[in-house]
Amino acid sequence: MKKVFLFGAVALSVSLASCNKEEKTEKILNGDWTVASLNGTVAITDQGQTETLTLKNGTGDMSLDRETATGKINVIYDIDVPFGGTTFTFKDTLAGDITLWNNSDKDVSMTIKDKTGTTQNTAFTIVSSEKSAQEWKFNQINVDGTETTNVNYNIKMNKK
């Protein structure tokens, strides 16, 4: 009987610790953030040839509302595109309304609706999570016919 009680107590405390850690992460994420950097790569492979684009100099803002599970994101970054021995730099944005977000202690998932109404489901792995600073990693591989796109970037944020 003592073994069963002890096992039950241990299982309950592990369960509560897991919930508390996720809730703690959610409380930390709630609020307004300044995006300090967004850096990474996009590798596009088609018919055996790979072109790698560089994402850099990302800055902007993100807000997350814990009660409504919504928010906003607006990040502007540079994309370096190599072409014929020359690199061209273009501006791009990750911007829109976050119509839903949730998290565990290891990741953050969100649905972003841009100004055209297109929605994108995005999942970030939490690299580090502090009250005043966050670092998330994004990795996604898309396959469309003969083309494979591998997107990798890190986003660092500071609490406002």
Task: Render each residue's pLDDT in the chain as its tens digit; 160 residues.
Answer: 444 433 333 333 333 344 455 557 778 899 999 999 999 999 999 988 999 999 999 999 999 999 999 999 999 999 999 998 999 999 999 999 999 999 988 999 999 999 899 999 999 999 999 999 999 999 988 888 889 999 999 999 999 9
How many domains are contained in the chain? 1
Of 76, 72, 73, residue with least CA distance to 59: 76
Are 157 and 30 a contacting pair, CB within 8 Å?
Answer: no
Strands 133-144 and 119-129: antiparallel
Enumerate residues 6+ apart whose C-beta is below 8 A from 130.
Answer: 28
**Eight-state DSSP code of residue 5:** H
Residue 125 CB neighbours (<10 A):
13
Q: What is the CATH number of the domain that holds 11?
A: 2.40.128
pLDDT of residue 3: 42
Measured distance CA(99)–CA(24) in Å, rounded: 21
Owning domain of residue 39: 2-159
